[in-house]
Amino acid sequence: MEYNDNENKGYVPYMENEPAVLEYNTERDPLKMPEYGRNVVKMVRLLRLIPDRDKRSQQAAAIVKVMRSLNPQVANEENWEQKLWDHLFMIADYDLDVDAPYPAPKPGQMETRPMQIPLKKKPIKATHYGRNIESIIDLIAEEPEGETKTAMIRQLAIYMRQQYLIWNKDSVADSTIFQDIEKLSDYRIRVPEGISLTKIASDANFSRPGLNLDFGNNNRKQGKRNNYGKKNNSKGR
């Protein structure tokens, strides 16, 4: 097949006729809900241009289905379908006239700031024990003297020794733990004489929280063991 140059004299490449214009996110409007992406925003803009209300409502329901597929974890929440419709109205700047299965939210209703949770500003006396230990000590200090309070002090001392060994690998004497209990209680608690703690096993391992949570590697190792056992079984047959 011969190439005919006369047939291509009037041909103008597309890039020369209408050069492509690149769009950068820094030049675009910020996304109100980034989890749905910018394509959903474009869908909503086109949705508002549909003149027929019934068709507009049908397309709105279709966009909600797309939003669910883009954000599937929302289905684990309560009233998730209503939340998707609320998100649709938020993306549309609350300017959307459709027949929704739920009442349209108002701007002030969705943009209210959450109520602040008051935090305890009291400093922790001993960070390696934590604030919960101090709360337990306060409860024990209010208990009347007796066998119950002595048993509570002993169990608390065992737990505090474990927490101490997590951050300090050296061995700790029982008297040190007893002194810490009295000091943290502002000497409202007096450790009775004769209390002894259980001995620590020689192979005991006290790790910091989160250091042994390697679920992925454990699963892979378990899978390798299972595969190795299957191979051996197949060879034996």
Q: Model confidence over 205-229: pLDDT tens digits?
A: 666 555 554 545 555 555 555 555 5
Instruction: State the chain's mean pLDDT as an integer.
Output: 79
Say which residue the tokens 């029982």 belong to: 174
Task: Give the pTM.
Answer: 0.43
CB atoms within 10 A of CB 158: 14
Q: Select from 112, 135, 114, 131 the least CA-distant residue to 123.
A: 131
DSSP state of 122: S
What pLDDT, on a 0 to 100 scale, did the predictor assign at position 149? 92
Distance of CA 29 to the CA centre of its chain: 27
Mean pLDDT value across residues 103-128: 78
Q: Is the torsion defined by CA of 85, 87, 90, 92 positive or negative?
A: negative
Higher pLDDT: 215 or 44? It is 44
Going by pLDDT thresholds of 50, 70 and 90, the confidence category of residue 101 is very high
Cα angle: 193, vertex 196, 198; to 5 degrees: 170
Q: 59: phi > 0 → left, psi -120 to 50 → alpha, else beta; which?
A: alpha
